[in-house]
Amino acid sequence: MIAEFGLAALWLAAALAALQLIAAVLGQRKGGETLALLVRPAAVAQALLCGLAFLMLLWVFARTDLSVLLVAENSNAQSPLIFKIAGAWGNHEGSMLLWVTIMAAAGGLIALIERRLPERTMSATLGAQAFVTFGFYTFILFASNPFNRLASAPQGGGLNPLLQDPGLAFHPPTLYCGYVGLSIAFSFAVGALLTRQVTPEFARVMRPWILGAWIFLTIGITAGSYWSYYELGWGGWWFWDPVENASLMPWLAATALFHSVSVLASRDALRTWTIMLGVVAFSMSMIGTFLVRSGILTSVHAFAVDPTRGMFILVLLAINIGGALALFAVRAGTIAEGERFSALSREGALVINNVTLSAVLGIVLLGTLYPLVTEAFGVRVSVGPPYFNPVSAIFVFPMLVVLAVGPLLRWRGDRLARIKTPAIAVAAVGLAALLALWLIAGIAFLELLGLTLAAVVAVAAFLPLRGRSLKRLPLPVWGMCVAHFGIAVALFGMSVDSAFTVETLTAASVGQTIDVGPWKVRLDAVEPVAGPNWTALSGRLSASYHGGAEHELTPMSRTFWAPPQTTSESALLTRWNGQLYTVIGEGTPDGRWQLRLWWKPFVTCIWLGGFLIALGGFLALVGRVSVDVRRRVATRKIAARRAEMAAV
């Protein structure tokens, strides 16, 4: 009865989403204020019921109820508990239920806590959220029901072995929180367009949700990159896979949106930019959903292979995004211009960065969709790093230069003479780094430029602290500095990894020593081992750095039996200056074993930089929320005093 209980809760949540939408639409009319009062309670009740449905799904997975089709296909009684639970979202139906649960929870939270905007605008926002959510409820209930029963309980297929990793319990939920946060931004944008309330107060309400979504996207992408790096055994951290791009595109749009909404909140400028980016950011999330779940891609990330589901999502995308763009086209002319600013100002720098981010987004979107379009006409093409790396760099590198200088500029307008000294210092650092690397390293142009700009951005990141009291510095300023420094750290890691990685592919006998960069690696043994739901051949390697102490590594070739599949489990040895990455393959007829070894200098800086970027966003979010809370408290105190004076 657990599955039936979950399905009933899901149907009730869908009904409440419909009620929330209808009440919001009718509440916008004159005399509909009474109906509008239903919107907030409906949003909260819908969130509770949808959360209950997801808990029921977790329950049937934890119990391994194999009479539920989804459990039978994605779990097994012998699987560890963490992978049983992770199986709840390691598939198409469960991941869609997780998606709509987070979306409903976000809408319910807004309905509970947000009181700053006019009630008519909030009602329109929650109505837009209900419209999007109801579409996903319809998709789940009619095309992707996670609670379908089987007539008889089989043994259970088990979770995809590539997904049987603790990273799976962390990566998808964080990424989904980011996607859903962008749906909130979309709903706010639609609500503001409907009620013509594109104001700084609207931006201040919208900003924490965008920043929260951006933080989750950053963490999700960073964690997913590291997961694929160590789990897939291929030695790379980014391959421009279409599904990787599907997560990158919303992040690019969210980055531009966050900066734009900050300008609107603080300086009452970029009104049209903010609304447009709110629509575009969620559009990228929807396009990513279509790519992953339409069956047009083959990937470890791609869950669905049913074209009917893909068509359903395509229709949802067309209705949601097409409707929002049509609304924007009709109402954009009614959005007031806002405050003007000089091209040489912080707002001007942010506009340049938004334009370049949008250009990179267009490049990634084109490179992702082009092979799919040509394949529809019978022509197979491959678009990979030779396209993405240099073409993106055309816009990314100038953007990084603007990022280094922009925070030094004043709002509204500035003079170059005022920032001459720090600008010259930053330029000197860049020139010194460029000359040193060119003379010493002898690396390719893109890597040379990447390392140079990493040095420039790292120094420039903390220049806004110059001449200011560090104790009194607002948290958002610290957040900006940390996030920009994180970009420099990540860029340094990417450039060094691309320029200096050493790879060795060999077939080694037991006892043989192989050189890879500064390491000597000896194959000591290959031994059979067993896990809870797999068996493996485990290599035992001894590695020494420049002839120093030996360290043991144990890469494996695992064979799972539920479902049957062989995977490579890499073994990593991390030092302060990089990682030794080892993978063992199959044996050869003459008794040797295939080994792939990499020495990857400073590769961990890539993910350290990613988490620093997220930390910077978190500091900014805490700072902004604390300021908003203090402002609300002060406003209430003033209102209370005025009420007391009026009573006297």
d(CA 399, CA 466): 23
d(CA 290, CA 299): 14
User: How many of the other CB atoms lie within 10 Å of CB of 589?
Assistant: 5
Residue 68 sits at φ, ψ, to 5 deg, of -90, 125
**478 or 151: which carries more pLDDT confidence?**
478
Residue 334 sits at φ, ψ, to 5 deg, of -90, -5
The pLDDT, as a whole number, for residue 513 is 95
User: How many of the other CB atoms lie within 10 Å of CB of 26?
Assistant: 16
| Residue of 226, 324, 327, 345 whose CA lies nearest to 282 | 324
Half-sphere exposure of 177 (CA within 13 A, CB side): 16
Give how far Cα 384 sits from Cα of 290, 370, 374, 493, Å: 20, 11, 15, 20
| Residue of 387, 415, 386, 399 whose CA lies nearest to 354 | 399
pLDDT digits (tens, 9 = 90+) for 443-453: 889 999 999 99
d(CA 508, CA 588): 9
Q: Judge whether residue 304 has pLDDT over 50.
A: no
What mean pLDDT do residues 416-432 have? Answer: 92
d(CA 527, CA 536): 8
pLDDT over 90 for what percent of the chain? 59
Token pair in block for residue 400: 């990084």
Burial class (CB in 10 A: 0-12, 13-18, 19+), 136: buried
pLDDT digits (tens, 9 = 90+) for 201-234: 999 999 999 999 999 999 999 998 998 898 877 8
What Rg value do the Cα atoms of the chain yield, rounded? 27
pLDDT digits (tens, 9 = 90+) for 223-277: 989 988 988 778 889 989 888 898 999 999 999 999 999 999 989 999 999 999 9
| Residue of 155, 171, 154, 174 whose CA lies nearest to 163 | 171
Determine the straight-line distance between the first and last CA of the chain, rounded to whole angstroms: 62
Q: How long, in residues, is the chain?
A: 648
| Residue of 86, 287, 273, 264 whose CA lies nearest to 168 | 86
Half-sphere exposure of 272 (CA within 13 A, CB side): 13
CB 339 within 8 A of CB 268: yes
Token pair in block for residue 422: 């720090």
Query: How sure is the predictor about 157, in pLDDT bands with cuts at 50, 70 and 90?
Result: low
d(CA 553, CA 77): 31
CB 264 within 8 A of CB 271: yes
Give how far Cα 35 sits from Cα of 96, 105, 134, 339, 379, Å: 30, 22, 19, 37, 54
Burial class (CB in 10 A: 0-12, 13-18, 19+), 69: middle
